[in-house]
Structure 1
């Protein structure tokens, strides 16, 4: 009887589980891979690799080191605005559009750096990158992956975010070599192509805001008691039955009156400023 009910539920078009009950590769891991690639290419280009260009840009554009670093500080400060913008867009626009936008704009900005001919060009691009990439990409990846995972959520988010470290380890020596042999402008072009090829295809094909967009539930949304006991018996932490997806719209009118929100924003600003220093 129970088997008939399960079969009927499947025929009625009920969302599939994202947990152990669904065999095969869970679609949410594509979201993790996409997040990893955005962090390894777009985020890395603007956060890990930008310092490699300092000496060459300063020399060619007639800037002082202090003037160049003003752009870096500007990117850190403007990232607060970027956090608010991305948070707003996540409630209004689907994840695929945002992922494509981040990748496309990162590519355009890197091409922009390759043709920069005045200090104000650097400042403008630094402000844009601070808004869209430094703050936006990291927050976007974290939020979207959280939507897809109840079980192994921390692992999935950390796996995606470690793409920045991986990208830095791979791209930094490559970019350094290109700058030394072919110049800093060509190095920016190479980074732009890497962002476009490495992130755009997976963003277009795989990114979705919620598991329900694919007829799925978050990973681990339906765990039986036997599965919970099995996980605990393997020495893992106790798993609590996950709640259904809940969307809470707080709104700017409430947030702007919250001391906790502004403290969090200040924390982001200080982390960005210290990291830039």
Structure 2
């Protein structure tokens, strides 16, 4: 008898804990490192402009290029994930990002800075929510939202820890050391975790996805299927990419994520500089940013948990976008409200942003199943990152360079969030054609 075999993902006596939960833990730590690559950019923004004399729009263009190329290569990574598995994608991406970050610590020109952030973006696409979502979707039918929330909470944890850490390293030593520390985390943290622990599918370990119906519940000549209220509902249909592209659901979700990531990208690229302009030190500005990202940990977890108890996650996505809009609106009154503006911004923006990110893979799995998850999530990510996320930082930087403040940039972000929320609400359940 094979002790590794299980029914519905439950391990036998030979394996007391479902292995998928160990993978969730590994993905949590990978996401911490991944979050550090993205959210720490704003700590480098002002020091780089001061050292090299670049404008904020010029410097923020690197972050836009980073997001643009990440979105552009997502379908490629998605295809690889569907065909060779997420493990090799994680390994290659960690190597790419580690090398790019190490080289960033030696940069002396704007052209080199742009080239290395393009290279970094290629790696980003292979370690973000899409590959994490693919692994979780393969390992979990039951508890999928909870597992997804836990795994992706790590990226916000990376912001909570690594943004203040980079702020400290830059203020006390140099921005070059900050990039070197991030490179070490990729090469000596992420690579070993993936190599030793990540397994693409439960079938490779002789298991089944947690909550998948066991063979004994299949209809036979003498038996009828046995179901209970606790038994999870399986994906009604696995859609191909072509079928998904033919639905209004896909395109409305594309608009929602595109606009949401456009506004969020603008905020993430500039918020540390915004707080520095308001008179806060680099360390304090980085700490406030880190705390808001820490709040997004709760947002990811809550959105994952709530998604298991609602039939239509699109409305939940709309709520997350609206929360971010209100949070950014509060920053427009920072000078007059002071602490109370921060008290509104930190939880509302953090919770809403965290929920939006975890709902990217969750809505794909909910609406289109797991067979072509990588391809569908990849194209959706291209819409979100390459068209939305890449545009936001440049536009916000241009607003600052032309007006001397971020007021109009943040007003625009509020409007963009609300339009995205409208698109999410309008997205119907996909129907077979």
Query: Which TM-score band applies after superposition, normalised by the shorter structure?
Result: 0.7 to 0.9
What is the match of residue 30 of structure 1?
Answer: 22
Confirm whether residue 85 of structure 1 aligns to residue 80 of structure 2. Answer: no
Q: Distance in 2 between matches of 1:38 and 1:82?
A: 20
The whole-number CA distance in structure 2 between the counterparts of 1:79 and 1:260 is: 23
CA contact (8 A) 1:80 1:265 kept: no
Instruction: Specify which structure has the bigger relative contact order, considering alpha-carbon pairs within 8 angstroms and separated by 6 or more residues.
Output: 1
User: Which structure 2 residues correspond to residues 209-248 of structure 1 after superposition, within 5 A?
Assistant: 209-222=200-213, 238-240=230-232, 242=234
* Gap runs ≥5 in structure 1: 1-9, 233-237
Within the alignment, does 1:39 sit opposite 2:31 as a pair?
yes
- Show the counterpart of 1:58: 49
Alignment CA distance shift 1:121-1:254 (3 Å): farther
Matching residue of 2:189: 198
TM-score by length of 1: 0.80
Aligned with 1:133 (options 98, 120, 124):
124
Q: Report what 2:152 is aligned to.
A: 161
Classify 1:152/1:254 alpha carbon distance in 2 versus 1 (closer, same or farther; 3 Å): closer
1:145-160 correspondence runs (5 A): 145-160=136-151
Q: 1:97 deviation in Å?
A: 0.7
The answer to whether residue 7 in structure 2 is matched with residue 17 in structure 1 is: yes
What are the Cα deviations for residues 167-210 of structure 1, in whole angstroms up to 9, with x where unaligned? 21112222111111220101110111122222111100111221
Partner residue, 1:5: none
Counterpart-to-counterpart distance in 2, 1:83 and 1:267: 18
RMSD: 3.0
CA contact (8 A) 1:77 1:272 kept: no
Q: Structure 2: any 5+ residue segments left out of the alignment?
A: 218-225, 267-433
State the Cα distance separating 1:254 from its structure 2 match: 5.6
Whether the aligned pair in 1 keeps the contact of 2:69 and 2:121 (CA below 8 Å) is yes
Task: Tell me which residue corresponds to 2:281.
Answer: none
Does residue 103 in structure 1 map to residue 94 in structure 2?
yes
* Aligned equivalent of 1:235: none
Distance, in Å, in 1 between the alignment partners of 2:8 and 2:176 is: 45
CA distance in 1, matches of 2:60, 2:143: 39
